[in-house]
Amino acid sequence: MKTHKNLYQEIISLKNLILAWKKARKGKTRKDYVVNFEKELGRNIKVLHEELKNYIYFPKPMQTFILRDPKTRKISKSDFRDRIVHHALCNIIEPIFDKTFIYDNCANRKGKGSLFALKRFDFFKRKVTYNLSKEAYCFKADIKHYFKEINQNILLEIIERKINCKETTQLIINIVGGGGEKSLITKECL
């Protein structure tokens, strides 16, 4: 199995951070937090780059709020600058992992949104009902607190099978850890 090394410099490059900023702002250009970040865009991107380069970046605590649509859910939202880092990370590691996903996995994948999922469902529905000549049943489920309950050690093992870059895995640990100074990337961690 191929492992990827030395990804961190690609992740934190100014070019990648600018691309990540463009992705993070998409559809949110009028939000206060985007407008405020963009008032000093060059400086803010440069500060983010320097923090990542000098291993002093850490995510800010997430903002939590309640959303009711139709069920009540507790949502945690990352700070805008942290979302830029998320996009920068995904820009580099997504192609590595995307190849390993099953074809029908539609979760946050390019070209595989709701329409793709509906077409695949229709394909399988027709297949199991012999072109709709029988009844078919669909089971819809939602796993409560799914992301909170993921075993992070197993997740890290899976990531490390593909990524052999201590700085990158430490950045992932910091992001998954939810922010705060405890998740600070330090040279001692590397």
- The total of structural domains in the chain comes to 1
Residue 183 belongs to some domain of the structure:
yes
What share of the chain has pLDDT > 90, as a percent? 56
Position 188, amino acid:
E
Residue 117 belongs to some domain of the structure:
no
Supply the Cα-derived Rg of the chain in whole angstroms: 20
Cβ neighbours for 172, distance < 8 A, ≥ 6 positions apart: 89, 156, 159
Tokens of 172: 């992932």
**pTM, 2 dp:** 0.83
Q: Which of 93, 98, 99 shows the shortest CA–CA distance to 168? A: 93
Give 43-60 pLDDT, tens digit per residue. 999 999 999 999 999 999
Residue 96 belongs to some domain of the structure:
yes
Residue 132 belongs to some domain of the structure:
no
Residue 133 belongs to some domain of the structure:
no
Residue 27 belongs to some domain of the structure:
yes
Q: Can you give the residue range of the structural domain that contains 160?
A: 8-102+138-189
Residue 49 belongs to some domain of the structure:
yes
Give 12-46 pLDDT, tens digit per residue. 999 999 999 999 999 999 999 999 999 999 999 99
Residue 114 belongs to some domain of the structure:
no
Query: Are 179 and 96 within 8 A, CB to CB?
Result: no
From CA 45, how far away is CA 17, in angstroms rounded? 7
Give residue 178's pLDDT band: very low, low, confident or very high (50, 70, 90): low
